[in-house]
Amino acid sequence: MGQQAIELRDVWKKRRNKTIGPMNLRLPQGYITALVGQNGAGKSTLLNMLLQLILPDEGEIRWYEETYRGVLPMELRQSIAYVPEMPQPEENFWTPGEAAAFRSHWYPSWDQSYFEELVRKFEVPENARLGKMSKGERRKFELAAALAVKPRLLLLDEPSSGLDPFAWKIMIETLQRYMDEHEATIVISTHIVEEVRRLADYIVLMHQGQLLGMTEKDSLFGSWSEIWVQIEGEQALQELAAELPQALELKLETPGVASFLTQQIYLYEKRIHDLGVKVLKSRSLELDEILSLWTRGHRPVLIDQKRGE
Ligand SMILES: Nc1ncnc2c1ncn2[C@@H]1O[C@H](COP(=O)(O)OP(=O)(O)OP(=O)(O)O)[C@@H](O)[C@H]1O
């Protein structure tokens, strides 16, 4: 991996009811990383820590390979844009134009014509106050305003929540184009499999406050298969189980047909054939099924997060 945009070293955050950590993570510059995991896994907490909206109780966070005592330098903070899960109420009484004028003072890199282009593309109601907008309309404004900063690091917390399919498609295309045209890093927390499929280079999985690891998205696709085989009776099933200890959920589906899940089927195809077992059909597991297996401990090939690779 090249340069890191973000690095977490043994970061912990202690909540009233839950402890989040230890988090060790290195996010490469120039890529989109999807942060996935069930509700309450700790995704928003992690994103908030990258902006110092929440401070870790232990551990160290590095931005572009630097660590900072106290607050982030202004220049760095101004190169980070954030679309939070809930919009900030401070701007509720403003129209998009008024909020843009305010933000343009705060962000020297603010690109007003890009903002206007995105507002038009997303069809954000230009005369409505932000606080009176629908959830999706506000989201579209927030996305346009975050991108208008021309950020070097863009943090998106469930950005598509509330978007209609038309707006969702514009968001995907806009983010893809932004990455093509800029040296940027995006971290996106999402529950939408299609978003991960379309956008992510890397996937980071969080589960119950633990960071389970990071993997390349492309290595996940096709990594698990469900196989249906012809099998005669319980004894043949036992034999197959003994020969394929890595097979999961091996069971008789109907008389004469068994199914199981396996990683990297190409490694076992010959062995199955040599056993005289006939494969009836197979399918690749979907990303959400693979992520669910991962939360249950069946890890994919992970990227080493140790320092000094
Ligand atoms: N301010 C807070 N005080 C105490 N506990 C909190 C606070 N904010 C979050 N938590 C707890 O920390 C855990 C992680 O929350 P977080 O919002 O980071 O999860 P998430 O992965 O973003 O979830 P979701 O997918 O539902 O948005 C949860 O158990 C939550 O209840």
CA distances to 45, 115, 120, 154, 159 from 60, in Å: 15, 34, 41, 20, 27
Per-residue pLDDT of the chain (309 residues; tens, 9 = 90+): 578 999 999 999 998 888 999 999 999 999 999 999 999 999 999 999 999 999 999 999 999 999 998 899 999 999 999 999 999 899 999 999 999 999 999 999 999 999 999 999 999 999 999 999 999 999 999 999 999 999 999 999 999 999 999 999 999 999 999 999 999 999 999 999 999 999 999 999 999 999 999 999 998 888 899 999 998 888 888 888 898 888 999 999 998 999 999 988 877 888 888 888 899 999 999 999 999 999 999 988 788 776 654
Cα(147)–Cα(12) distance, integer angstroms: 30
The per-type count for the chain, helices as H runs and strands as E runs, is: 11, 13
Longest dimension (CA), the chain: 74
Output the CA 256–ligand 1 centroid distance in Å: 47
Query: In 3D, which of 174, 193, 192 has the Cα closest to residue 184?
Result: 174
Complex-level ipTM: 0.94
Output the CA 136–ligand 1 centroid distance in Å: 22
Cα(59)–Cα(90) distance, integer angstroms: 31
The verdict on the CB of residue 162 being under 6 Å from ligand 1 is: no
Residue nearest to atom 29 of ligand 1 (CA): 40
Cα(289)–Cα(279) distance, integer angstroms: 21
